[in-house]
């Protein structure tokens, strides 16, 4: 084994330090100490553990650790001092992984403090001599991990994977005990943001009091994998595609762990015959271009995927990493978004990862059902509001042919807080954006990135005035965030989704202008025609400020309690919701610069208890939480099947 691949006793969490360092911001306040300390403790050089999705191949094997684990709440934060990671959990109960803990146990519904998970596994004897990786799909929000009592590292921020190289630490021939602590405390410097209870004065309180409108579910939300690779293995792959006449050009850049040099190849299968390009890896890096004459491009109408194998070595591969690739281009021309050179119009929704009892735990049956319903209704797209969705969701979107607006976890960023808090959030968010783009860069389904949803100078429902300078602080924040993000992906547009247009200084920085517009509901309540007139004025103002960029109406809609009807239509009835959505849609279709409309939301979802939310649900779903269609669903189906997807 080459020395630079030898296991060491240093912690090996792959976290966002790399991006944080690249962004060059320093922690300056006690309020951000937790995150800064966590980053320091995780202390691992870039590239120690691969974050590639663990696909199997002749050289790679996986083991899903999903199932029943032991679980214990730790409200006094005693577990670490009492060495639960070494002694075992003192009074555990059983919990399924993946799942949120909140809807399982009565005493854990509104619990966001530390909780501990524990399981045991045996190593497959067939994995002897191979490199062993431990990978978490997502832990919300802050996870710390021990294996056999030894601390491995930690990860901050949910919705994105983290991994450890556990070669030599996971033992053969005996049980290996894996222990994880997870907490989702509402801290000011985190993203998403919480309002500062010392300064934000609410005229209407929610419970729990978050700045955003969905329940802050927590836990191990996605699968935990063990997987084995050869010692020398493919560490990362970046695929970009272009078109040249009727040919597709597939550029494959890949990294190999350590400084390995040697022969390799990339093979694309799916055309008339497989095409292989040989390449030499030098010091752990290589690049190849595959030309596909008569390429079959990827699109919602024909989501064709080629198979890519990156193989290290000569005739007998040392490693073989398989993945799927769609060949397509994305561009902006004036106020149009072009897919493969042709304008697209987006029909679909903002969604949530949300379902009864599972909370935000990965739920493959619900995912497949959702995609079937999206097809049924005539949607060609969705937004991963308001955080990165599971890798499985994106793989499925590639297969179904949905265009995805992939959103960061920056929902309802507040700009009334002191500069050091804003710096902490910028650092955290820049890291999350780096991780998101790193994870998702190869999905053909991703059309553009949304860096934030509804940033606001001050929290909603407060009597505070936004302090002077809040808009300027946001303008600077987004300048730096956009600049950072644009270094990470040069092939896709970037945007933020604004609320009722504002502030122009923020939303105008995007390549696509996204706006959430609630006339007829929160504004101009109860009056659909007046609401639509206000919408037209808003669009004009947006155009006047932002110029000839595409406008995407990323949210509009009304709550409807399923089964409630009214004639003439009234708020909260299915009839009002359906009429409002139809009126908005028809009005928006008159403007050639509007490139898509996403009614909010796909399905009802759980949120905080509030006088605004019947049954602790946001009921703007076009489907109920258990996916029964409301009147608006059949209305949209008729509108979209009449050519709405353009
Ligand atoms: C919005 C937010 C979304 C909310 C929605 C609502 O603008 O982006 O998260 O759920 O409004 O229904 O209030």
3-state secondary structure 204-221: CCCECCCCCCCCCCCEEC
Task: Give the pairing of strands 446-453 and 494-499.
Answer: parallel
- The ligand 1 atom at the shortest distance from the C-alpha of residue 605 is 10
- Segment 272-282 mean pLDDT: 98
* pLDDT at residue 200, rounded to an integer: 79
Residue 37 Cα to ligand 1 middle (Å): 33
E strand or H helix at 465: none
Give the number of other CB atoms < 10 A from CB of residue 616: 14
Rg of the chain over CA atoms, in angstroms?
24
* pLDDT at residue 643, rounded to an integer: 60
pLDDT digits (tens, 9 = 90+) for 27-69: 222 222 334 344 333 323 334 799 999 999 999 999 999 999 9
- The catalytically annotated residue of 454, 530, 570, 574 is 454
Which residue blocks in 212-363 are alpha helix, DSSP H?
Answer: none
The pLDDT of residue 17 is above 60: no
pLDDT band at 197; cut points 50, 70, 90: confident
* pLDDT at residue 500, rounded to an integer: 83
Residue 372 Cα to ligand 1 middle (Å): 24
- The ligand 1 atom at the shortest distance from the C-alpha of residue 454 is 8
Of 536 and 198, the one with more pLDDT:
536
Percentage of the chain surpassing pLDDT 90?
86
Residue 227 and residue 64 in contact, taking contact as beta carbons nearer than 8 Å: no
Q: Is 607 helix (H, G, I), strand (E, B) or coil?
A: coil
Percentage of the chain surpassing pLDDT 70?
92
* pLDDT at residue 86, rounded to an integer: 98
* pLDDT at residue 21, rounded to an integer: 22
Probe residue for ligand 1, chosen from 408, 516, 599 as the CB with the greatest number of ligand atoms within 8 Å: 516
The pLDDT of residue 172 is above 80: yes
pLDDT digits (tens, 9 = 90+) for 333-355: 999 999 999 999 999 999 999 99
* pLDDT at residue 204, rounded to an integer: 78
Of 170 and 9, the one with more pLDDT:
170
The pLDDT of residue 116 is above 60: yes
Question: Is 555 among the catalytic positions?
Answer: yes
- The ligand 1 atom at the shortest distance from the C-alpha of residue 453 is 8
- The ligand 1 atom at the shortest distance from the C-alpha of residue 386 is 9
- Segment 266-292 mean pLDDT: 97
The pLDDT of residue 356 is above 70: yes
- The catalytically annotated residue of 48, 183, 187, 555 is 555
pLDDT band at 278; cut points 50, 70, 90: very high
* Protein residue with least CA distance to atom 4, ligand 1: 213
pLDDT digits (tens, 9 = 90+) for 557-593: 999 999 999 999 999 999 999 999 999 999 999 999 9
Q: What's the N-to-C CA distance of the chain in angstroms?
A: 56
The pLDDT of residue 6 is above 70: no
Q: Which protein residues touch ligand 1 with a CB less than 6 Å away?
A: 213, 386, 453-454, 499, 516, 555, 600, 618, 620
The pLDDT of residue 604 is above 50: yes
Residue 552 and residue 346 in contact, taking contact as beta carbons nearer than 8 Å: yes
The pLDDT of residue 467 is above 90: no
Average model confidence (pLDDT) across the chain = 91
Task: Round to whole Å and give the CA distance between 72 and 111.
Answer: 12
């Amino acid at each position: 084994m080459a020395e630079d691949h030898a296991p060491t006793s240093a912690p090996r969490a792959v976290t966002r330090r790399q991006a944080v360092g690249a962004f060059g911001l320093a922690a300056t306040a006690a309020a951000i100490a937790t995150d800064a300390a966590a980053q320091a403790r995780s202390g691992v050089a870039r590239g120690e553990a691969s974050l590639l999705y663990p696909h199997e191949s002749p050289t790679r094997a996986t083991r899903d650790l999903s199932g029943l684990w032991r679980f214990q709440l730790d409200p006094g934060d005693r577990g670490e001092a009492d060495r639960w990671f070494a002694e075992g959990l003192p009074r555990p109960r059983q919990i399924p992984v993946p799942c949120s803990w909140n809807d399982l146990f009565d005493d854990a519904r509104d619990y966001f403090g530390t909780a501990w998970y524990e399981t045991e596994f045996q190593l497959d004897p067939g994995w002897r001599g191979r490199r062993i990786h431990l990978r978490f799909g997502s832990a919300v929000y802050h996870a710390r991990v021990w294996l056999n009592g030894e601390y491995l590292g930690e990860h901050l921020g949910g919705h994105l994977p983290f991994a450890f190289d556990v070669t030599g630490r996971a033992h053969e021939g005996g049980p290996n005990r894996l222990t994880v602590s997870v907490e989702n405390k509402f801290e000011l410097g985190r993203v998403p943001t919480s309002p500062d209870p010392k300064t934000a004065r609410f005229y209407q309180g929610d419970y729990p009091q978050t700045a955003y409108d969905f329940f802050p579910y927590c836990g191990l939300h996605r699968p935990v994998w063990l997987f084995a690779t050869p010692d020398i293995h493919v560490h990362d792959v970046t695929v970009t595609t272009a078109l040249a006449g009727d040919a597709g050009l597939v550029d494959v850049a890949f990294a190999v762990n350590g400084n390995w040099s040697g022969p390799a190849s990339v093979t694309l299968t799916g055309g008339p015959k497989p095409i292989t390009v040989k390449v030499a890896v030098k010091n752990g890096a290589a690049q190849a271009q595959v030309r596909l004459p008569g390429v079959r491009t990827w699109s919602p109408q024909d989501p064709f995927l080629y198979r890519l194998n990156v193989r290290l070595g000569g005739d007998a591969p040392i490693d073989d990493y398989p993945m799927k690739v769609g060949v397509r281009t994305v561009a902006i021309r004036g106020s149009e978004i072009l897919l493969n050179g042709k304008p697209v119009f987006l029909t679909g929704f903002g969604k949530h990862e949300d379902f009864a009892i599972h909370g935000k735990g990965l739920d493959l049956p619900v995912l497949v059902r959702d995609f079937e319903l999206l097809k049924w209704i005539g949607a060609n797209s969705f937004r991963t509001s308001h955080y990165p969705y599971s890798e499985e969701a994106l793989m499925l979107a590639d297969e179904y042919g949905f265009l995805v607006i992939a959103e960061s976890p920056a929902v309802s960023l507040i700009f009334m807080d002191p500069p050091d808090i804003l710096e902490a959030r910028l650092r955290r968010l820049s890291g999350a954006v780096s991780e998101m783009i790193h994870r998702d860069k190869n999905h053909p389904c991703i059309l553009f990135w949304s860096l934030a949803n509804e940033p606001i100078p001050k929290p909603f429902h407060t009597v505070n005035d936004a302090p002077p300078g809040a808009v300027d602080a946001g303008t600077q924040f987004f300048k730096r965030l956009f600049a950072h993000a644009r270094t990470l992906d040069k092939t896709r547009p970037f945007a933020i989704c604004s609320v009722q247009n504002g502030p122009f200084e923020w939303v105008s920085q995007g390549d696509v202008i996204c706006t959430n517009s609630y006339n007829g509901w929160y504004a101009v309540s109860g009056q659909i025609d007046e609401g639509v007139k206000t919408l037209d004025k808003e669009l004009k103002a947006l155009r006047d400020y932002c110029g000839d960029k595409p406008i995407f109406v990323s949210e509009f809609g009304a709550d409807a309690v399923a089964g409630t009807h009214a004639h003439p239509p009234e708020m909260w009835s299915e009839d009002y919701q359906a009429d409002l959505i139809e009126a908005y849609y028809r009005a928006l279709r008159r403007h050639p610069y509007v490139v898509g409309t996403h009614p909010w939301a796909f399905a009802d979802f759980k949120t905080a208890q509030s006088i605004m939310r019947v049954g602790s649900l946001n009921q703007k779903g076009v489907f109920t939480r258990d996916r029964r269609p409301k009147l608006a669903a059949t209305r949209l189906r008729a509108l979209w099947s009449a050519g709405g997807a353009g």
